[in-house]
């Protein structure tokens, strides 16, 4: 599944037609289109209350459990059993995509839905999609899952491009009319500030759900920055507009693996910052048992919990903020932020298969990429955490040579 963005085409052209260290292809200016009208509100629906602590997912009104399931790492029979275990534990939102684990994630969930159709009705299903110009990928995912609709569609929205926003709106409105979609949504791990601010300006009431990278939350000690202040301001505006906020890339995966003493304070901190649910990639039955025991009825954090949450975040100094500054300045038009996220999947998360799968969506030639930067230092100069740079780009490229 590929992301057919304009710059992906430019990058492909660049890497196909130039030699190492050669000059770059510039990106053309984006035209601004007319935006469609916001989606009309849905009639009120009665939802079953879950057994685990929950809150309202924005204007959807859905009582989402405070911990939800990101099925990014599941596959085969174990994946099906994990999904069943998560839902049996009371978690009521799951997120998957045909791109996860080379299609194995969605297949594992489909196997559960096929075996027992009631499981489909127990969850708020979120699907990630890449191409707002075609319904094919949505139809294929729905067919695979044996369902006629998804509860939310999280279309990738990585750059503050009004044309992309317009295309997403147009597609999602059409899907709602056809009954294939209940609630509008998008996912962003790119230009977080730009995308949030464009949405607030052009379509403040259109989206009902969003999945956002939360690395800019000021959760560690001394973490308040211009980025965190701006991010929190936009997050607050989203919530005021009734957009349900799902968190990702907060570090939840690592926190879950360290057990309740780390995950509970982390989850409380993320929820307290303004998220409705912490999406996490549970992958063992021990983790499911732990989630069942979490006391999230109160968000109050003791001093020890505050210290634990801050210490966990401070232990990840090289976790990408997902600010996309590096990408914006790259004279080669390289998707530097995506490459840094792929580094994270491989080096921090230990998910080489997922890193490879994500790399394949970029349509880059790894050999050429390995020597594309030359002695350029442009992205290094703007990266607030000193992560982006020619060396890191080469490191990522060499994973796939
Ligand atoms: S060093 Fe950074 S800015 Fe320069 S070409 Fe490489 S990725 Fe782009
Ligand atoms: S690598 Fe640095 S500049 Fe690029 S998105 Fe991450 S934090 Fe921002």
154 phi/psi in degrees, rounded to 5: -105, 90
pLDDT of 308: 87
Pair 341, 229 in one domain:
no
Burial (Cβ within 10 Å: 0-12, 13-18, ≥19) of residue 138: buried
pLDDT one-digit tens code per residue, 9-30: 333 333 433 333 333 322 223 3
On whether residue 13 sits in a domain, the answer given is no
Atom 2, ligand 1: which residue's CA is nearest? 379
* 247: containing domain: 54-314
Report CA(227)–ligand 1 centroid distance (Å).
22
pLDDT one-digit tens code per residue, 369-380: 999 999 999 999
Mean pLDDT in residue range 257-268: 91
Question: In which band, very low, low, confident or very high, does the pLDDT at 220 lie, cut at 50, 70 and 90?
Answer: low
pLDDT of 225: 81
Mean pLDDT in residue range 229-243: 95
Structure tokens at 135: 């319904």
Alpha-carbon distance 314 to 310, whole Å? 6
Pair 254, 373 in one domain:
no
Best residue among 379, 388, 396 to mutate for probing ligand 1, ranked by most atoms within 8 Å of CB: 379
Is the distance from CB of 269 to CB of 232 less than 8 angstroms?
no
Residue 165 pLDDT greater than 80, yes or no: yes
Alpha-carbon distance 384 to 392, whole Å? 15
How many distinct structural domains can be found in the chain? 2
Residue 357 pLDDT greater than 90, yes or no: no
State whether residue 70 is helix, strand or coil: strand
Domain boundary among 257, 282, 314: 314
DSSP secondary structure of 67-99? EEEEGGG--HHHHHHHHHHHHHTT--EEEE-TT
Q: Which helix (H) or strand (E) holds 395?
A: helix 390-399
Beta-bridge mates of residue 65? 54
pTM of the full predicted structure? Answer: 0.85
Is the distance from CB of 176 to CB of 39 less than 8 angstroms?
yes
Mean pLDDT in residue range 268-281: 93
Structure tokens at 325: 């500054």
Pair 135, 194 in one domain:
yes
pLDDT of 102: 82
H runs (alpha helix) in 90-180 = 104-115, 118-121, 136-145, 162-177
pLDDT of 41: 46
Beta-bridge mates of residue 93? 124
pLDDT of 351: 86
Atom 6, ligand 2: which residue's CA is nearest? 320
Residues comprising the chain, all counted: 401
pLDDT of 361: 87
Residue 171 pLDDT greater than 90, yes or no: yes
Report CA(309)–ligand 2 centroid distance (Å).
22
Report CA(321)–ligand 2 centroid distance (Å).
6
Pair 205, 351 in one domain:
no
Average pLDDT, the chain: 86
Kindly list the protein residues whose Cβ atom lies closer than 6 A to any atom of ligand 1. Answer: 329-332, 334, 336, 373, 376, 378-379, 388-390, 393
Mean pLDDT in residue range 232-242: 96
Count the neighbouring beta carbons within 10 Å of the beta carbon of residue 133. 10
Pair 335, 286 in one domain:
no
pLDDT one-digit tens code per residue, 113-159: 999 999 999 999 999 999 999 999 999 999 999 999 999 999 999 99
As a whole-number percent, the residues of the chain with pLDDT over 90 amount to: 66
Is the distance from CB of 364 to CB of 330 less than 8 angstroms?
no
Q: For residue 82, give Cα distances in angstroms to 2, 141, 359.
A: 28, 20, 26
Count the neighbouring beta carbons within 10 Å of the beta carbon of residue 146. 12
On whether residue 41 sits in a domain, the answer given is no
160 compared with 31, residue with greater pLDDT = 160
Terminal-to-terminal C-alpha distance of the chain:
21
- The closest-lying atom of ligand 1 relative to the alpha carbon of residue 380 is 2
Pair 367, 245 in one domain:
no
Mean pLDDT in residue range 245-271: 90
Alpha-carbon distance 287 to 270, whole Å? 19
Pair 330, 299 in one domain:
no
DSSP state of 344: I
Q: Which CATH number characterizes residue 276's domain?
A: 3.20.20.100
Burial (Cβ within 10 Å: 0-12, 13-18, ≥19) of residue 366: middle
On whether residue 37 sits in a domain, the answer given is no
pLDDT one-digit tens code per residue, 285-336: 999 999 999 999 888 888 898 888 888 877 776 778 889 999 999 999 999 9
Best residue among 325, 345, 391 to mutate for probing ligand 2, ranked by most atoms within 8 Å of CB: 325
Atom 3, ligand 2: which residue's CA is nearest? 383
Best residue among 328, 377, 379, 383 to mutate for probing ligand 2, ranked by most atoms within 8 Å of CB: 383
Angle between helices 352-361 and 336-343 (to 10 degrees): 170
Question: In which band, very low, low, confident or very high, does the pLDDT at 223 lie, cut at 50, 70 and 90?
Answer: low
Alpha-carbon distance 155 to 185, whole Å? 7
162 compared with 361, residue with greater pLDDT = 162
Domain boundary among 291, 314, 337: 314
Beta-bridge mates of residue 279? 68
Pair 218, 257 in one domain:
yes
Kindly list the protein residues whose Cβ atom lies closer than 6 A to any atom of ligand 2. Answer: 320-326, 336-337, 340, 382-385, 387-388
Domain boundary among 293, 314, 335: 314
H runs (alpha helix) in 315-389 = 325-329, 336-343, 352-361, 366-370, 378-382
- The closest-lying atom of ligand 1 relative to the alpha carbon of residue 393 is 7
On whether residue 42 sits in a domain, the answer given is no
């Amino acid at each position: 599944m590929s992301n057919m963005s304009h710059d992906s085409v430019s990058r492909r052209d660049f890497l196909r037609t130039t030699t190492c260290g050669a000059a770059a292809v510039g990106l053309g200016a984006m035209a601004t289109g007319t935006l469609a009208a916001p989606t009309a509100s849905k009639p009120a629906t009665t939802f079953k209350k879950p057994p685990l602590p929950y809150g309202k997912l924005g204007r959807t009104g859905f009582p989402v459990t405070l911990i939800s399931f990101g099925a990014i790492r599941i596959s085969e029979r174990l994946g099906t059993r994990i999904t069943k275990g998560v839902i049996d534990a009371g978690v009521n939102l799951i997120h998957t995509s045909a791109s996860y684990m080379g299609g194995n994630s969605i297949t594992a969930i489909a196997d559960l839905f096929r075996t027992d159709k009631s499981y489909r009705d127990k969850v708020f299903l979120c699907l990630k999609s890449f191409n707002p110009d075609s319904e094919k990928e949505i139809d294929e995912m729905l067919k695979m899952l044996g369902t006629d609709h998804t509860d939310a569609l999280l279309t990738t929205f990585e750059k503050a491009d009004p044309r992309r926003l317009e295309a997403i709106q147009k597609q999602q409105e059409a899907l709602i009319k056809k009954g294939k979609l209940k609630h509008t949504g998008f996912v962003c791990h790119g230009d977080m500030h730009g995308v949030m601010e464009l949405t607030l300006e052009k379509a403040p009431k259109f989206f009902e759900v969003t999945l956002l990278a939360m690395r800019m939350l000021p959760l560690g000690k001394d973490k308040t920055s211009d980025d965190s202040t701006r991010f929190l301001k936009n997050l607050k505006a989203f919530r005021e507009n009734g957009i349900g906020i799902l968190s990702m890339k907060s570090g939840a995966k690592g926190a879950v693996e360290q057990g309740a003493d780390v995950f509970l304070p982390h989850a409380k901190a993320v929820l307290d910052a303004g998220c409705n649910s912490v999406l996490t990639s549970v992958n063992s039955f021990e983790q499911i048992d732990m989630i069942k025991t979490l006391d999230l009825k109160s968000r109050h954090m003791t001093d020890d919990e505050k210290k634990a949450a801050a210490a966990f975040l401070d232990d990840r100094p090289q976790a990408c903020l997902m600010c996309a500054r590096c990408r914006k300045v790259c004279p080669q038009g390289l998707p530097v932020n995506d490459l840094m996220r792929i580094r994270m999947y491989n080096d921090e998360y230990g998910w080489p298969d997922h890193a490879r799968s994500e790399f394949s969506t970029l349509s880059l030639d790894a050999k050429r990429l390995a020597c594309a930067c030359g002695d350029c230092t442009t992205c290094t100069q703007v990266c607030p955490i000193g992560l982006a740079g020619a060396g890191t780009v080469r490191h990522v490229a060499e994973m796939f040579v």
